């Protein structure tokens, strides 16, 4: 029996503030699953024509699936939100792109007719569950991945500097300063207010507080300050805490529907899924992977980089962003890229970062009604890239 694919749309996207990982982080005394629940409830409150019983799956990217992030978090959180037992869910791991993969898988489900409405997102508590926590790599893992540096993301960035010396530390620092400037400007004028859902948390002294502002941004960053930072991954290296994304806690979720179902509910969607692609590269320079992933996605969409009006690229490290922009034919300061700043400013809570790109793109589409197409793309630990092309429906 022949079936036609359905068009898939994003109806809404929300996130928590992103906190710093560790005891000084705003979410130090908050569990990962308790970051997800407020987002689920907010999606229903913000979209009153949708009720929990309409959610046909709850897909959550999460990298370290142990302790509070284990036990198939995507299944449990809907029950913690008091939605009952009837909503299925699962956990997805593609390291940094776990949440973006969840959105991609969700789009595939809807396009194929498996579902009409679902939630897809990502969550990571890097304070409670640091990168690599309780991992047991295969004895041959280092060999097959090309060396020990493949297991250390900071070293993969240093490797890009080494193999492509045209991207200098000064360039990386300059990129980082500009990222912080754009983020500060966006925050000051309230660009984050509509997407950040306040979460009640316990502060270090035991009092309750509302976490509703990103903790990572450093608006006073200067080239002078960055040049004095140490290079922890390599002696006399190029990667510092200033030109890399932070270690963070946070969650982000998107509400996806078929376009026909949204029309039936009289919902005006934000954007339409056009095409997606994943690619793989040498794990020791994992940060270059958005290039082949984007090229594949654009080919599937029948579009080019010139057609992309807004580009959201996750900045795991400044050098990998610089490489990718250059190889995709863009200048380092292309005005289409990360208009509100990127992960160097806001932080990178692994699986939550991909959905954060989607939330940013949806917001940017809203204020740029003439923009037609946008791109979300990110690199992935162990040498992968994930890219999605979107069409603006807020015109």
What gap in Å lies between CA 10 and CA 198, rounded to an integer? 22
Helix (H, G, I), strand (E, B) or coil at 375: strand
Q: Which of 90, 96, 161, 252 is an active site residue?
A: 96
Name which of 306, 297, 261, 299 is nearest 277 in CA terms: 297
Q: Which of 125, 128, 161, 348 is an active site residue?
A: 348
Is the torsion defined by CA of 215, 216, 219, 221 positive or negative? positive
pLDDT tens-place string over residues 95-139: 999 999 999 999 999 999 999 999 999 999 999 999 888 889 999
Global pTM value: 0.98
What gap in Å lies between CA 336 and CA 286, rounded to an integer? 24
Q: Which of 117, 252, 324, 379 is an active site residue?
A: 379
Find out whether 115 and 109 touch, Cβ atoms under 8 Å.
yes
| Among the four given CATH numbers 3.90.1150.200, 3.30.950.10, 3.40.47.10, 3.40.50.150, the one describing domain 8-127+142-388 | 3.40.47.10
348 among known catalytic residues: yes
252 among known catalytic residues: no
Between helix 98-112 and helix 353-367 the angle, nearest 10°, is 70
DSSP bridge pairs for 89: 58
Per-residue pLDDT of the chain (395 residues; tens, 9 = 90+): 788 899 999 999 999 999 999 999 999 999 999 999 999 999 999 999 999 999 999 999 999 999 999 999 999 999 999 999 999 999 999 999 999 999 999 999 999 999 999 999 999 999 999 988 888 999 999 999 999 999 999 999 999 999 999 999 999 999 999 999 999 999 999 999 999 999 999 987 789 999 999 999 999 999 999 999 999 999 999 999 999 999 999 999 999 999 999 999 999 999 999 999 999 999 999 999 999 999 999 999 999 999 999 999 999 999 999 999 999 999 999 999 999 999 999 999 999 999 999 999 999 999 999 999 999 999 999 999 999 999 999 98
């Amino acid at each position: 029996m022949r079936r036609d694919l359905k068009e898939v749309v994003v109806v809404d996207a929300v996130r928590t503030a992103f906190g710093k990982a560790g005891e000084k982080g705003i979410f130090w005394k908050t569990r990962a699953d308790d970051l997800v629940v407020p987002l689920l409830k907010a999606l229903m409150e913000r979209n009153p024509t949708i009720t929990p019983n309409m959610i046909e799956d709850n897909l959550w990217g999460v990298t370290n699936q142990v302790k509070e992030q284990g036990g198939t978090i995507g299944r449990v959180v809907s029950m913690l939100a008091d939605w009952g037992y009837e909503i299925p869910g699962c956990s997805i791991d593609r390291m940094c792109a776990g949440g973006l993969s969840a959105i991609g898988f969700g789009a595939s489900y809807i396009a194929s007719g498996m579902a009409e409405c679902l939630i897809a997102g990502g969550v990571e508590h890097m304070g409670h569950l640091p990168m690599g926590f309780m991992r047991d790599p295969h004895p041959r893992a280092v060999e097959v991945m090309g060396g020990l540096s493949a297991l250390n993301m900071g070293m993969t960035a240093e490797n890009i500097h080494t193999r492509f010396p045209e991207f200098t530390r000064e360039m990386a620092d300059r990129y980082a300063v500009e990222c912080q400037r754009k983020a500060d400007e966006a925050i000051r004028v309230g660009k984050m207010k509509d997407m950040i859902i306040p979460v009640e948390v316990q502060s270090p002294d035991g009092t309750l507080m509302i976490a509703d502002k990103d903790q990572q941004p450093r608006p006073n960053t200067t080239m002078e300050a960055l040049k004095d930072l140490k290079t922890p991954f390599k002696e006399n290296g190029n990667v510092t805490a200033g030109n890399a994304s932070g270690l963070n806690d946070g969650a982000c979720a998107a509400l996806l529907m078929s376009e026909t179902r949204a029309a039936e509910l009289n919902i005006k969607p934000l954007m339409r899924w056009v095409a997606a692609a994943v690619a793989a590269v040498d794990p020791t320079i994992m940060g270059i992977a958005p290039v082949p992933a984007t090229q594949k996605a654009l080919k599937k969409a029948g579009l080019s980089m010139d057609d992309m009006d807004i580009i959201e690229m996750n900045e795991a490290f400044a050098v990998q962003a610089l490489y990718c922009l250059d190889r995709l034919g863009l200048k380092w300061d292309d005005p289409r890229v990360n208009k509100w700043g990127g992960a160097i400013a806001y932080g990178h809570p692994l699986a939550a970062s991909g959905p954060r790109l989607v939330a940013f793109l949806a917001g940017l589409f809203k204020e740029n009604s003439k923009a037609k197409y946008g791109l979300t793309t990110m690199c992935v630990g162990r040498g992968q890239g994930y890219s999605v092309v979107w069409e603006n429906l807020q015109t």
